[in-house]
Amino acid sequence: MPDPLETIPWQPPSVLPRHIAVIMDGNGRWAQKQDRPRIEGHRHGVASVRRTVEECVRLNIAQLTLYCLSSENWKRPQLELDFLMHLLEQYMIEERSLLMQQGVRVSVIGRRDGIPDSVMGEIETTIEMTSRNDRTRLCLAINYGGRSELVDAVRTIARQVRDNRLDPDSIDEQVIAQSLYTANMPDPDLLIRTAGEMRISNFLLWQISYAELWVTEKTWPEFEVSDLQAALVEYAKRERRFGGLSEGP
């Protein structure tokens, strides 16, 4: 007999994050445990992306940001990098119709150097096609590094000062935030990391200053909708004080 509790529809908590960021870790480890090539872990990770995006759309989460390829990942074997680029290009082509049906708007953050022209072309096509969608924004961090983002922001601000378009004394947190790749995006409320690693790996260093962290031992290909729901339940239990005092006794 099935567990009667499993037939009860999951009810989301009353407090949901506006923006969820995910460090999708453990694809290679999942493949090794399955005695498969590392690239198979990346392939299976795409299914987890689809599940997570669909649930965020269902819950009206405003933004989901996925750490797809870090600027440090270029150190990996060329065969694996080539497959990742192929997988990214394939995702952009094959998921477009579903993204359009779900009203998902795609954006990308990170440096473009190193990304093949064919892949970049498909990315730009998907961004343009989904630009008018008004439900969940899916932001993909590709060739992204938090320190590189801050370097680029400083360069942008320095050029504005040099050209007398910005007074150095007027530089504040808002000026810096608007110079980041994520300008006009909300900061993440919840940062999820898979595969049990307790670090942020150069991801959204400025933006996650007050994000709630949630880590699971599951690798990314094992990440199910129920895991996302568990993270949301835990998030709703936490008191976010942003440096202030608790409202409790």
73 is catalytic: yes
Could you say which of 73, 133, 187, 202 is catalytic? 73
Token pair, residue 49, equals 């992306």
- Strands of the chain, DSSP E: 19-23, 63-70, 105-109, 137-144, 190-193, 212-215
Per the annotation, the verdict on 25 as an active-site residue is yes
Q: Cβ distance 112 to 32 under 8 Å?
A: no
Instruction: Name the catalytic one among 3, 25, 134, 202.
Output: 25
Distance CA 157, CA 167 (A): 10
Strand-pair partners of 63: 19, 137
Cα 39 to Cα 19: distance, rounded to the nearest angstrom: 29
State the DSSP string of 87-114: HHHHHHHHTHHHHHHHTPEEEEES--TT
Which phi and psi angles does 183 have, rounded to 5°?
-50, 135
Catalytic residues: 25, 73
